[in-house]
Amino acid sequence: MRAAALAAGLAVLLLAGCSGGGGDGTGAPAPDGPHPVRATATPTPTPTPTPVGPYVALGDSYTSGLKIAPQVGEPRGCARSAVNYPSLVAKSLGLADGQFRDVSCSGARTGDLTGSQQTDGGANPPQLDALTPATRLVTVGIGGNDAGFMEVVGECARENLVDVVKGLVGSGRAESPCREHYASAAGAVDQVQSKVDAAGERLGRVLQEVRRRSPQARVYVVGYPSLLPADPAACAPVLGGAVAAADLGFLAEKEQQLNAMLKGRAETAGAVFVDAAAPSAGHDMCAGEADRWVEPPFPASGLAAIHPNAKGQQGVAAAVLKAVRG
């Protein structure tokens, strides 16, 4: 019954050389015996200066810092934290007041970057409106909602709940009920990959618009942190048998597809991709409370399920700063 309860709870909670030559340079042979070697000057590349602002942060709830205290800014429905990764990046760069704008918003999709987003606390203006020709640094953390990733997680929870119930009544359990659901629903087509690809098309247009509005800005596309461990067995203490190990692998695979799309779109647009998955390895939602960057389906008090906590925001901020400082 514990597995059924966990799966039910998850379903309710959920609806990124040089070379040298001999001789004297005249074509004459080099003299015999020891001779001085003329050093070849190698130009020292000029380092790209770290942008000092203005900095604009765009994104969804993984950027805004859903439920991480203290919550600041308007509209309140965007759920921005004063310690989300954009705020930490701005602080580390020493940006003065007026040199940083965080317009990220929980629930945002790419369409909310060019259009107004309605929230429980009022409307968030189009996020791209914060950009100007003077903007010098932009981070973009979006795409998961377009791809319906959290919906996939919720659907996997529901499919596993049904499967648990079947097991309780003696019908037997499937090896991967969620993967089987999407396979039967989409036939030979990878339904989730199709959504990821469509999200990529929209993100590509957004990045073009960012470049048009802020042509001098350095743009960084921030990926999503690892939600799950490489070994699904590590989730047993947290999820028990609520979600089949094969379905945990399915979800990890889909997140990898999402991050791969973000990386590809960033490169195509001439932006920099910030990998948040690699540094978060071992800090997934199935890690212990002291280590995890992402909260599990039943999160610590006051935090959002399957979203980054304060440590997660700090980890992503470090990855962004490493990329920005080169």
The whole-model pTM stands at: 0.82
Q: Is residue 136 part of a domain?
A: yes
Distances (CA, A) of 307 to 154, 160, 189, 296, 299: 14, 21, 29, 8, 9
Q: Which domain holds residue 113?
A: 2-13+53-325
The number of distinct structural domains making up the chain is 1
Q: Is residue 33 part of a domain?
A: no
Q: Is residue 163 part of a domain?
A: yes
Which pLDDT belongs to residue 160?
65
247 near 179, Cβ under 8 Å? Answer: yes
102 near 80, Cβ under 8 Å? Answer: yes
pLDDT digits 0-9 by tens, 132-173: 999 999 999 999 999 887 787 777 777 666 554 444 445 545
pLDDT digits 0-9 by tens, 36-83: 444 455 555 556 678 778 999 999 999 999 999 999 999 999 999 999
Angle value at C-alpha 256, between 56 and 118, nearest 5 degrees: 40
Q: Is residue 309 part of a domain?
A: yes
CATH assignment of the domain containing 230? 3.40.50.1110
Which pLDDT belongs to residue 175?
59
pLDDT digits 0-9 by tens, 217-271: 999 999 999 999 988 888 888 887 677 778 888 888 889 999 999 999 999 999 9
Torsional class of 300: left (φ above 0), alpha (ψ -120 to 50), beta (otherwise): beta
* Residue 133 token pair: 């020709």
Angle value at C-alpha 166, between 189 and 180, nearest 5 degrees: 10
Per-residue pLDDT for 3 more than 50?
no
